[in-house]
Amino acid sequence: MKHLLSIGLIVVLTQVFFACGDDDSDFIARGDDSSLEDDSSDSDGDEDSSESKSGSSSSRKGSSSSSGGSSSSAGSSSSRYTYDVSKIEKGTFTDKRDGREYRTITVDGSIWMAENLNYAPASSLGCHQDDDKDCTKYGRIYTWGEVIDSTKSYCGYNIVCDQPLQGICPDGWRIPTRGDWVALLSKFYGSTPSFYEYKGLAPALFSKDNASSYQGTDDYGFTVAIPEKGTNKSAALNFFTATQTSGSENIRPYFMVFDSKNINDKATTNFAFPAALRCIKGDLVPNLNNPTTTFGVRGEDRKVCNGAEPNSSLSTRACNKNGENKCSIYEDGSLKINGKYMYLEANGKKACPFEWHIPSVSEWKDFLAYVGGECFAGFTLKAQKGWGDDYAFDAFGLGIKPTDGDEARFLIGGSKKGEITGSVVFAKGSNIATIKDDTANVSGLLCMKGRLKDDTLSYMNPELEYGEFTDSRDNRTYKTINIGHTKWMAENLNFETDSSVCFGGYHGNTTFSCVRYGKFYRYEDALTACPAGWRLPTKEDFDTLVYIATPYKRASTLVSQENETYKGNNSSGFSLIMMGYIWNGRDDFGDTATYLWSSTELNDSLVYTLVAYKGTYTDTANVAKANAIRDTKFNVRCVSEEKVVYGYKGTYGTLVDERDGHEYRTIEINGTTWMAENLKYESENSTCKRDSCDIYGLHYSFPFTSLVIDPLCPDGWHISTTADWDSLLAFVRANDSATYALDLRYTFRWPSYNQGTDKYGLGVIPNTCYQDNSGYDIVNVRDEAVACIGAEDVENKKGYYYIMSSNGVNSVRKNVYKRSIDSDRYRFGIRCVKDK
């Protein structure tokens, strides 16, 4: 309780303290209030915000004259302030609205009225008590609402007023900001004091004709005239500024307040508080070094942007400022702004080149926000020439010039290539970049590097060719990719079901997450979610995908280069975006893993899935078992019922061996017809080495009995000879010496990191080289996968074999080697060749 009484006493005493004093009862003491304008000045009092666009004393709509002599006055020599009064120019200005003439002073290029404004139509309080009837001595008394001219300035009670603020000042003049006052007073004072408390400065500015304690020396010709009597005498000691402060209750105006000796700034909650007004000439010149103070919303822009503030980081983001252009232009003519490469295309073009796109509305908004905001983009993006009197800095080097009369109009792209949804307009006399739905008469084109961010095409592999499929149920189009004999969707299914959900828990098809990443499904829904002609993949489909697309079972070949954190190379074109899975409504493993349902069940609760995991130290892809419980949701990739051609794309012939009924595929290569499979004819010297003789054929020992009564090959065919092989190898080497061994291999059976292309249809498979007394492969070529095919040198009655390997043992991985057979203990596969 004692603490509460103490606090209450402090509050009461504080209120009493601030309620007392010399004419300050309506002002708010300094505290937690924050100014809505950052207009602090440098120590020398020279502040950018107070510079005028024109340093001359002429006005667009007023007339003035200037005399450049010294303005020294009696007593100035004894002043303790050191500003050189010889620098001050005196002049006059005539307000064309009422013909009234005002004295002016020019201080370092800033032209101030040297007497209070006396514009009668705006004043409801009239003159001071001992003034003339037309207020010629002390000027008129105004309220805040009268000074700002709220209708014209689009501001008022508790509303921020954008700078520059003309208010009731004549055309070409404006209400000075607190920063303008600080700059002026600091020059006279010799420095900028703490809290802007100019102690002892007031008499140097007071008129010599003032009575009693307000009589001054008027050292600088500013002539602050104070009436001797009157209930509103304090109004002559208080001067409006255009600056406002925000506190806990409302927005309040700042005043520069004089007493008999000192000057400082204060704010008041009394909007009817009377004060005087001194106007300053010229515009508030925008400055990239201080954009939040100097840019301001001007003219008719206030109808849309009143109260807006530019991005405070402009001063560091701008690359063209202070007379130095540091904006980098790349060889293709583009600029890099906020991490995005962009350039202006020639007028009239409607499309960007390959790998570039027209920015979408979201990309335009992000871009405009970065360069200052939509209300200030005209300042920063317009070229410095071509816009008349507009302030234009070309702060980022883009140099936008008018494309359509007094405007520059640019296209806004949609989510699909070639789609146009609107335009961005820069107009003469305005600093706003206006986003419109109108697409007519647009000549400007801004291109941004990369594929459309709102389109799934952006995470495909640009080096590969994709197909398309449109789901007739919801008219959504999917990219497709052929991998092996299977046509896959190259993006996740996005069809809405009762249980489907997007990443983040969203439903429907309108959010960015749904459009870009597809949906998650429970297993029961996944089984029937694919469209007609498509189905959920089987375990075998996933096994084949992993075999073909992921050498060494690395997920990076499946993962898109656009994946947020752990980027893949997407060499397969499968284009996975790692989105994790959803369990019990919670997202898990987002950006590091992907789980895809298959239709193959291990038992009542376990289902095979494709699991791809990409992390800092992990890069794996495999087919695993997952628990298909009710609340688990994975993504779905559908496969087409239609098989695609993979490997050899030509046509096979057929050979039926009448001796045992075996049917063989045959292929013609460079005029020679070969069996496209290993021989399966049983003889006294044949052995079945592999688990399936139907796949790998039989192994035979040398001599191969080609010249005896019962030959191995069918009638009209012979065991391949060294001449046949030498001719074949010369032909395929000539076509591609680097890959010829792989081109002869079958597309499957070999390890995935060393697959064949089967370019010629010969289909060599790893049947091994068999040593019959031990059951092992030949020692000097023992390897993970080996193909050995026997051949005869008929003329010299010698045996040879041709060997291919999957690893680097004896450097046979990328080559085909010919070796002699020196023992009947070794057995080899046989390919028969048609007699010519």
pLDDT, tens digit (0-9, with 9 covering 90-100), for 402-447: 988 899 999 998 866 678 899 999 999 999 999 999 888 888 899 9
Give the model confidence (pLDDT) of 689-719 as tens digits.
756 788 889 998 888 865 556 789 999 999 9
Helix (H) or strand (E) holding 4: helix 2-19
Q: Are 179 and 67 in contact (CB under 8 A)?
A: no
Q: Beta strand 476-483 with 89-95: parallel, antiparallel or unpaired?
A: unpaired
Q: Name the H helices within 190-288.
A: 202-205
pLDDT at 456 over 60: yes
pLDDT at 482 over 70: yes
Strand partners, 608: 625
C-alpha–C-alpha distance, residues 82 and 543, integer Å: 88
Q: How far is CA 598 from CA 422, 529, 723, in A?
A: 43, 12, 49
CB atoms within 10 A of CB 170: 24
Predicted local confidence at residue 774, as pLDDT: 57
C-alpha–C-alpha distance, residues 138 and 141, integer Å: 9
Mean pLDDT of 108-133: 88
C-alpha–C-alpha distance, residues 275 and 198, integer Å: 19
Predicted local confidence at residue 600, as pLDDT: 93
Q: Are 791 and 725 in contact (CB under 8 A)?
A: yes
Residue position matching structure tokens 């009143």: 306
Round the average pLDDT of the chain to a whole number and report it.
Answer: 82
Q: What are phi and psi of 284, to 5 degrees?
A: -85, 105
Amino acid at 720: S
pLDDT at 28 over 80: no
CB atoms within 10 A of CB 439: 13
Environment class of 310 (CB within 10 Å of its CB; exposed 0-12, middle 13-18, buried 19+) = buried
C-alpha–C-alpha distance, residues 315 and 56, integer Å: 28
Q: Which DSSP string corresponds to 427-442? A: ETT---EEEES--TT-
Beta carbons within 8 Å of 723's beta carbon, 6+ residues apart:
none
- Long-range CB pairs of 223-227, under 8 A, 24+ apart, other chains included: 223/103, 223/114, 223/115, 224/258, 225/115, 225/116, 225/137, 225/138, 225/139, 226/138, 227/128, 227/129, 227/130, 227/131, 227/137, 227/138
Residue position matching structure tokens 């084109």: 445
Confidence at 591, pLDDT banded by 50, 70, 90: low
pLDDT at 43 over 70: no
Domain-wise residue ranges, the chain: 28-55+114-209+218-279, 291-454, 458-640, 653-834
pLDDT at 11 over 70: no
Structure tokens at 459: 């995470």
Give the model confidence (pLDDT) of 630-656 as tens digits.
578 999 999 999 999 988 999 999 999
- Give the start-end residues of each E strand in 247-404: 251-258, 263-268, 280-281, 320-321, 324-325, 335-337, 340-345, 356-357
C-alpha–C-alpha distance, residues 662 and 654, integer Å: 10
Beta carbons within 8 Å of 224's beta carbon, 6+ residues apart:
202, 205, 206, 207, 210, 216, 236, 258
Q: Is 87 helix (H, G, I), strand (E, B) or coil?
A: helix
Per-residue burial over 16-25, b if 16 or more Cβ lie within 10 Å, else e, is: eeeeeeeebe
Predicted local confidence at residue 83, as pLDDT: 87
Q: Is 652 helix (H, G, I), strand (E, B) or coil?
A: coil
Least confident of 24-28, 42-46, 468-472, 782-786: 42-46
C-alpha–C-alpha distance, residues 412 and 419, integer Å: 9
Confidence at 797, pLDDT banded by 50, 70, 90: confident
Predicted local confidence at residue 367, as pLDDT: 92
Q: Is 256 helix (H, G, I), strand (E, B) or coil?
A: strand
> Which residue did the predictor score with more confidence, 809 or 597?
597
Give the model confidence (pLDDT) of 655-670 as tens digits.
999 999 999 999 999 9
CB atoms within 10 A of CB 685: 17
pLDDT at 71 over 50: no
Give the model confidence (pLDDT) of 296-310 as tens digits.
887 788 888 877 888
Mean pLDDT of 15-19: 33
Q: Are 366 and 356 in contact (CB under 8 A)?
A: no
pLDDT at 742 over 60: yes
pLDDT at 553 over 70: yes
CA–chain centroid gap for 37, Å, is 30
CA 703, 708, 712, 714: dihedral to nearest 10 degrees?
Answer: 150
Predicted local confidence at residue 609, as pLDDT: 92
Q: Beta strand 826-830 with 786-793: parallel, antiparallel or unpaired?
A: parallel
Q: Is 167 helix (H, G, I), strand (E, B) or coil?
A: coil
Residue position matching structure tokens 């043992």: 809
Q: Which DSSP string corresponds to 114-133? A: SS----GGG-SS-S-TTS-T
Least confident of 161-165, 241-245, 420-424, 620-624: 620-624
Give the model confidence (pLDDT) of 760-795 as tens digits.
999 999 888 777 655 545 544 444 678 889 999 988
> Which residue did the predictor score with more confidence, 590 or 79?
590
Amino acid at 50: S
Environment class of 578 (CB within 10 Å of its CB; exposed 0-12, middle 13-18, buried 19+) = buried
CB atoms within 10 A of CB 419: 14
Structure tokens at 532: 């007609």
pLDDT at 20 over 60: no
CB atoms within 10 A of CB 160: 16
Structure tokens at 42: 């440098």
* HEC-encoded secondary structure of 693-726: HHHHCCEEECCCCCCCCCCCCCCCEEECEHHHHH
For the chain, what percent of residues have pLDDT higher than 70?
81
Mean pLDDT of 261-270: 87
CB atoms within 10 A of CB 590: 18
- Closest by Cα among 405, 421, 323 to 363: 421
Q: Is 178 helix (H, G, I), strand (E, B) or coil?
A: helix
DSSP state of 161: P
pLDDT at 248 over 50: yes
Q: Is 103 helix (H, G, I), strand (E, B) or coil?
A: strand
- Closest by Cα among 280, 317, 446 to 393: 317
DSSP state of 663: E
C-alpha–C-alpha distance, residues 97 and 471, integer Å: 71
